[in-house]
Amino acid sequence: MGLLDHIWLGIVTVFSADPVFSIAGLPISITIVMVILGFLFGIFVGATPGIGGPFAMAISLPILISVFGFDANALLPVLGFLVGIMKGSTIGGAVPAILFNTPGTPDSLMTTLDGYPLTKRGQPGKALRVAHFSSVSGDTFSDIVLITCAPFLAILVEKFLDFPEKAALIILSLAFVSAVVGSNVWKGMLAALLGLFIAYIGTGEDGHPRLSMGSDSLAAGFPLISAVLGVLILGEVFKSLEDMWREMKDTSSITHVEVKGDNKLHLSDIRRILPFIGISASIGTMIGALPGIGSTLAATLGYATGRKYHKGSPAFGEGAIEGIAATEAANSAVAGANLIPVLSLGIPGNVSAVFILLATETISGFTPGPQVFRLVPDQINQEMVYAFGLFTTMIFANGLNWTLGGIFMRWMGVMIRIPKQRLLPIVLLLTLTAIYVQQTTMFAVYVTLGFGFLGYLMRKLNMSVLAFIIAYILANNLEEAMRQAFAVTGADPWFLFAGPISITFMVLAIAVVVFFARNQKDLS
Amino acid sequence: MQKFSTAFQKAPWTLGLALFFIVTSLFTLFVWIPIDIETGVIETFRRRVTIGDAMAPTIMTVGILVTSILMGLIAIIRPVSAVEGLDRKSFYFIFRLVIAIAIGLALMMHAGPLLVDLVNALGGEIGTYRNLRGTYPYKIFGYMLGGFALIFGCIGVVENRFTLGSAGVSLLAVIVLTILYEVPFDNMLLPPNGNN
């Protein structure tokens, strides 16, 4: 079976497997329904300040798994819903930034600089249309790069990397994430090492579960979903609740602006913003492909680059549509590219990618990594079919973004009225319930809360939670690669330096840490 | 000593963190790992040399130890002021939040069985909670009461007051969540009904 057969099978699986109803005789599959639902939910949460796409993905995942189960048939509906959230939330984030000068997520902070002045001039409609067009353009560009690059990168990895090189690559990725995320390289490394250490509790190859302190509950280690949701979601909930308690900001003071003047997006406007979208989409895609660097940096770099090239009036920061375009195209272009390291290497680079990987780890039938794109003569590689099914859901969600996204986006201004201090405790209960429903034991709830307080402490101490979580997820892969590498090199203790590629990865890992440690002051 | 006190004034939490990890990693390295992992760093079985279960945790612990020492030394040699850490307000807030969550979870766990005991005590003779945990209202009583207390308590901790509005929001939220899990899915068990 060739590549085209796998692509076609992926598309057919998404559109025709398990139809739930039909419209005019056309069957609508469960995957398509889930993408649409996820997309609507994504716009909703993206437009709610304080709740972003990752929050929604975290809360949804245990519920989805409880509904669809763990077998391979669940894969595309679950991934479709998560992809829908990812896509919907990228456009929703600009809404509160433009209408209320309140960035829904950190990456839409730069959108407020030009979006809100336009709103004050009576042109919120134009600002929202520019944000929508730029965001969807950036996202689509990024997806095209993902779909064309990930398979080739995976084939290269499969061809050139053996176990020692794979172990060295994971070490390089962790070193990169530790060094780049956060203001202190040493704290980033501590977070990653701690994540690795905690992941090794209760696992191992020996009959005696290591480091479990004799506890039966710990014999299989901490539940992965509890660790991820605890540190990423509950840690953020606790920290945000404390921040609100300290500030007690009044969110009810919303100014209403009279809509006047030109609120449409004309062809001449599109011509003006296209160069900025092109530059920012490229920046966002490049940044998205690197592990650990998020959409906030992409938005900042996109905006700064756009400002450098912008001439004429209004200037950036005074209501220039080019400013909105530069920011939104950059931060949205990160989403697709983030999946490049996940699908080609099995290494997640950001929080959204963590949840995609978590879904595939929980549901059987698909393990992201270079083997996904391996062609076997006269056989169907089911994992490749799923990968192209995933790409199909992304393209379909992009289609929804282009056609319906703008309309739904403009309805979401009302979300600013939801008081965050009342919403986050509901998120807390929803997360704990979702964990319990999946694990059916209070131990998992207590573990989640424990990791939540760990996540809170790490945030208070400026330790990178992303480095911790990525390390936690990759810990078993790293140990397995090290065991295999040790075995295939004939018990060579220097197996990480056995070949030129692994030596290059290890040298790069050390260089990244040294470079960022020396420039620490600048970063902070 | 002068440098240490300067560093401690500027970034006490960074130094404290380094010291904490140095102590815990030494304990892990010399006490926890030796007594709680049965295979060594390297294992030899019938002349086949393999990596033992202790290898990965030992490397990580040594990594934590070395990184903590480096972080501590750099903080002393090049002290940089850092806005980080917990103050008295943080401890006060977390203490109150923990109480709110603990009350919510305790009610969630025990309110259902207590209700059954109460009905039995009043002469109802309805049996044990274990037998009734698939029956309304017992199956959702603990979750709803505990969930309400958890949300209402957390909102109260943040707003520094308990209002009718927040009670309404909490009640509505817990009703919606119960319906979300109970109505469409027969196989889902709300807390504490899945516990054996």
How many angstroms away from the CA of B127 is the closest CA of chain A? 23
With b meaning 16 or more CB within 10 Å and e meaning fewer, what string describes A92-114? Answer: bbbbbbbbbbbbbbbbbbbbbbb
Q: Judging by beta carbons within 10 Å of its beta carbon (0-12, 13-18, 19+), is residue A482 exposed, middle or buried?
A: buried
Highest mean pLDDT among A51-60, A135-144, A341-350: A135-144
Residue closest to A341 by CA, chosen among A195, A169, A456: A169
Query: How far apart are alpha carbons A297 and A275 in whole angstroms?
Result: 20
* Residues in a beta bridge with B42: B51
The reply to whether residue B56 touches residue A479, judged by beta carbons under 8 angstroms, is yes
Residues in B touching A422 (Cβ below 8 Å)? 155, 166, 169
Q: What is the pLDDT of residues A232-243, one digit of tens each?
A: 889 989 998 998
- Torsion of Cα atoms, A86 then A87 then A93 then A94, to 10°: 160
Residue A154's pLDDT is what? 83
How many angstroms away from the CA of A221 is the closest CA of chain B? 13
Q: With a cut of 70, say whether residue A475 has pLDDT above it.
A: yes
Least confident of A69-78, A259-268, B162-171: A259-268
Inter-CA distances, A373 with A184, A359, A501, Å: 37, 19, 22
Residues in A touching B64 (Cβ below 8 Å)? 190, 193-194, 197
Highest mean pLDDT among A70-84, A89-103, A213-227: A70-84
Taking residues A120-141, what's their average pLDDT? Answer: 90
How many angstroms away from the CA of B1 is the closest CA of chain A? 23
| Sequence-ordered strand ranges (E) for A110-195 | none
Residues in A touching B77 (Cβ below 8 Å)? none
Taking residues A21-44, what's their average pLDDT? Answer: 89
The per-residue pLDDT of chain A, averaged, comes to: 86
Residues in B touching A241 (Cβ below 8 Å)? 93, 97, 154, 157-158
- In 3-state terms chain A splits into helix, strand, coil percentages (rounded to 5) of 75, 0, 25
Q: What is the pLDDT of residues A11-24, one digit of tens each?
A: 999 998 888 888 88
Residue A253's pLDDT is what? 45
Torsion over CA: A398, A403, A404, A409 (sign): positive
Check if the beta carbon of residue A470 is closer than 8 Å to that of residue A291.
yes
**CA count, 13 A, side-chain hemisphere, B169:** 22
CB neighbours of residue A290 within 10 Å? 19
Shortest CB distance from A440 goes to which of B32, B90, B189?
B189
Residue closest to B83 by CA, chosen among B148, B146, B14: B14
Q: 3-class secondary structure for A453-510?
A: HHHHHHHHCCCCHHHHHHHHHHHHHHHHHHHHHHHHCCCCCCHHHCCHHHHHHHHHHH
* Residues in a beta bridge with B43: B50
Least confident of A34-48, A64-78, A246-260, A393-407: A246-260
Check if the beta carbon of residue A93 is closer than 8 Å to that of residue A103.
yes
Residues above pLDDT 90, as percent of chain A: 29
For residue B161, give the amino acid letter. R
Taking the Cβ of residue B109 and every Cβ of chain A, the question of whether any pair is shorter than 8 Å is answered with yes
How many angstroms away from the CA of A86 is the closest CA of chain B? 22
Taking residues A70-94, what's their average pLDDT? Answer: 88
Query: How far apart are alpha carbons A276 and A326 in whole angstroms?
Result: 5
Q: What is the pLDDT of residues A368-419, one digit of tens each?
A: 888 888 888 888 888 899 999 999 999 999 999 888 887 887 777 666 667 8
Taking residues A225-232, what's their average pLDDT? Answer: 90
The angle that helices A420-439 and A235-247 make with each other, rounded to 10 degrees, is 160
The per-residue pLDDT of chain B, averaged, comes to: 88
CB neighbours of residue A11 within 10 Å? 17
Domain locations in chain A?
3-523
A348: Cβ–Cβ under 8 A, 6 or more apart, which residues? A291, A341, A342, A354, A356, A357, A470, A473
Q: Which helix (H) or strand (E) holds B165?
A: helix B164-182
Q: What is the pLDDT of residues B159-172, one digit of tens each?
A: 999 999 999 999 99
Would you mind telling me the total number of residues written for chain A in this entry?
524
Q: With a cut of 90, say whether residue B38 has pLDDT above it.
A: no
Check if the beta carbon of residue A9 is closer than 8 Å to that of residue A375.
no
Residue closest to A145 by CA, chosen among A294, A339, A418: A339
Selected for mutation to probe chain B from A170, A178, A184, A449 (highest B CB count within 10 Å) is: A184
Query: How far apart are alpha carbons B182 and B143 in whole angstroms?
Result: 11
Q: Which of B:118-137 have CB within 8 Å of A? A: none
Check if the beta carbon of residue A516 is closer than 8 Å to that of residue A177.
no
How many angstroms away from the CA of B89 is the closest CA of chain A? 9
Q: Judging by beta carbons within 10 Å of its beta carbon (0-12, 13-18, 19+), is residue A345 exposed, middle or buried?
A: buried
* Residues in a beta bridge with A28: A21
Residue A307's pLDDT is what? 86
Model confidence band, residue A70 (pLDDT cutoffs 50, 70, 90): confident
Selected for mutation to probe chain B from A422, A431, A521 (highest B CB count within 10 Å) is: A422
Q: How far apart are the first and last CA of chain B?
A: 57
DSSP letter, residue A355:
H
DSSP letter, residue B187:
S
* Residues in a beta bridge with A26: A23
Q: What is the pLDDT of residues A272-314, one digit of tens each?
A: 999 999 999 999 998 888 776 667 778 888 888 888 888 888 8
User: A417 or A451, which is more confident?
Assistant: A451
Q: Judging by beta carbons within 10 Å of its beta carbon (0-12, 13-18, 19+), is residue A264 exposed, middle or buried?
A: exposed
Inter-CA distances, B53 with A208, A472, A515, B63, B181, Å: 10, 17, 33, 17, 41
Which tokens belong to A480? 């397995």
Residue A62's pLDDT is what? 84
Residues in B touching A212 (Cβ below 8 Å)? 36
Shortest CB distance from A245 goes to which of B50, B93, B187?
B93
Shortest CB distance from A460 goes to which of B80, B84, B97?
B84
Q: Which of B:37-66 have CB within 8 Å of A? A: 37-39, 49-57, 60-61, 63-64
Q: Judging by beta carbons within 10 Å of its beta carbon (0-12, 13-18, 19+), is residue B49 exposed, middle or buried?
A: middle
Q: With a cut of 60, say whether residue A255 has pLDDT above it.
A: no
Q: What is the pLDDT of residues B73-124, one digit of tens each?
A: 988 887 777 667 788 999 999 999 999 999 999 999 999 999 999 999 888 7
